[in-house]
Structure 1
């Protein structure tokens, strides 16, 4: 009986749902537009409020700091390499930030997360927005990875690097009826080759925050920002794994991302967070592929095979040259725009056993 019922539902529900959606779409679009207009008019005033940004020396994190600075917020900038934050702090002050606190910390260490949240409360007495921009991408075929020790680090940065700061900040965000703003990615549901581990981690992030949204109800807002292509020209970039007290990702050439899509995405994130938007998407046309994945996944698969499959031989290395990359940045913390990244001798990129990643 159950088999018969499910068989009938498989036939009836999809077309019936499509018909209902077609009729409801104009009304829903009008309601969404009206809601957007109301939220824009009554958007949150960030003057003198406190915004904590993790991964603040990354390209996205830096631009988000500047957007909040224009709104005259107080900023707390968190990154592992503190020296990269000093220039961003000065720029943020010029743009209008009231006070800017710089803290060196590692978002994959729970104790560090508790510390920088505690320092924020001790210094400012409140926390209004927590912005998680920690992200670490990759560009290699899963079966070609030489050193599997990188796998846990990708999950640490992309998943636990969001969970730990949120866990530490949540009680204070409840007190201020604040908001968590999350930098996610379209790969959380769009299956792009050579980014499987990154995509899996981002999917975990999306599902975690969607579940948390219902747990906190209206006590804390959550804005999930997903982006597609926002990178710059990386045709000559090379990436290496550097040994030291902690594993670091370092870029050999300066990549200016300030005036392009990264800045636009940052503006959309901050504007969406201040409006109280649940989701921010850039660009929005990527959503079309979601329909294909649900209803005609074979078409999506054929498209990727045609457009994204690498015609050349695979490179058997952990960190391939960026010349074969699809254009997505691999850095969590990019060097400040306008200052070339310092270089150091290459340290066995395919064989180094990483200890920490950010």
Structure 2
């Protein structure tokens, strides 16, 4: 073991530097090409109406700020209204034309109808629906002692995206709008201790890939399949539920001072 550690310490640092030296120019070139493409063909977001679910923290919060910089009108949705107030103020300072906040649970169809209908009443249309709700876990399947956690995970990660889509879809047809989904690399690269999360994300991706065929070009669909996202969830913010260690604090409900959103996932929204 000591010999193995010695060899790794000897070989990995120079190997990493060589890899970076060869890959960095290519990455810079791809970023420039992507910037040029988005500058020419990117969608003008100014004055568009955007609903963002799971907007109280994490990816949803950061996406709200990106839309604000592009002067969109925002409806920010999450279960905890008090978290949305500060984010709404930040979005206004960044340039959002108008920001509305709604306390709602996206796994309840009636709540989804309420925030979509309120958006229509205030703005008259919906251009983008951004679904960012997510709930992970860190238990092995055999460790579970209470199977009531199973539908909770599936409800939030799957139905929490499907219900808002179902309700908003007629209005997105009218505006030739777009749906953006927060998927995950676990949908095709399963990781240990994340079996149900990976299954839910795989179901989510397959649902929207199928929906893309049904909608053709009338409503656009962007599936953001991101990699590792650093937030408070990755630093031990867990709660115990009947012997299984679960992340009961959703990504949307946790502050995110260390959040790293992959720009490549978000760039194709425009």
Do the two structures share a fold, i.e. TM-score over 0.5? yes
Mapped to 1, the partners of 2:231 and 2:170 lie a distance apart of 38
Say how many residue pairs are matched: 232
Match of 1:286 in 2: none
Higher helix share: 2
Q: CA offset at residue 257 of structure 1? A: 3.6
**Stretches of structure 1 lacking an aligned partner (at least 5 in a row):** 1-32, 243-247, 275-358
CA distance in structure 2 between the aligned counterparts of 1:47 and 1:103, rounded to whole angstroms: 22
Q: Counterpart in 1 of 2:125? A: 126
Change (3 A) 1:120 1:234: closer
Structure 1 residues 174-223: Cα deviation after superposition (integer angstroms, max 9, x where no partner): 11110000000000011211100000000000000000001000000000
- Structure 1 or 2, whichever has the larger Rg, is 1
Aligned equivalents of 2:79 and 2:58: distance in 1?
15
* Separation of aligned partners in 1, 2:266 and 2:227: 17
Q: Give me the whole-angstrom Cα distance separating, in 1, the residues matched to 2:33 and 2:223.
A: 21
**Partner residue, 1:272:** 268
User: What is the SS of the residue equivalent to 2:269?
Assistant: helix
Match of 1:329 in 2: none
CA drift at 1:269:
4.1
- For the pair 1:81 / 2:80, whether they are aligned, the reply is yes
Question: TM-score scaled to structure 2, two decimals?
Answer: 0.80
SS at match of 2:223: strand
Output one character per residue of 1:220-253: Cα deviation in whole Å (capped at 9) or x when no partner: 00000011111147676242269xxxxx9349xx
Structure 2 counterpart of 1:231: 230
Give, in whole Å, the separation in 2 of the partners of 1:269 and 1:174.
Answer: 24
- Give yes or no for contact 1:103–1:116 (8 Å, CA) kept in 2: yes
Report what 1:156 is aligned to. 155
RMSD (Å) for aligned C-alpha atoms: 2.4
Give the TM-score normalised by structure 1: 0.61
Report matched runs for 1:247-286 at 5 Å.
Answer: 249-250=248-249, 257-258=256-257, 260-262=259-261, 265=262, 267-274=263-270
- Quote the offset at 1:258 in angstroms: 4.2
**3-state SS of 1:273 partner:** coil
- 1:66–1:91 CA contact under 8 A, matched in 2: yes
Q: 1:114: how far off?
A: 1.0
Q: Which runs of 4+ in 1 moved over 3 A?
A: 33-40, 232-236, 248-251, 255-260, 267-270
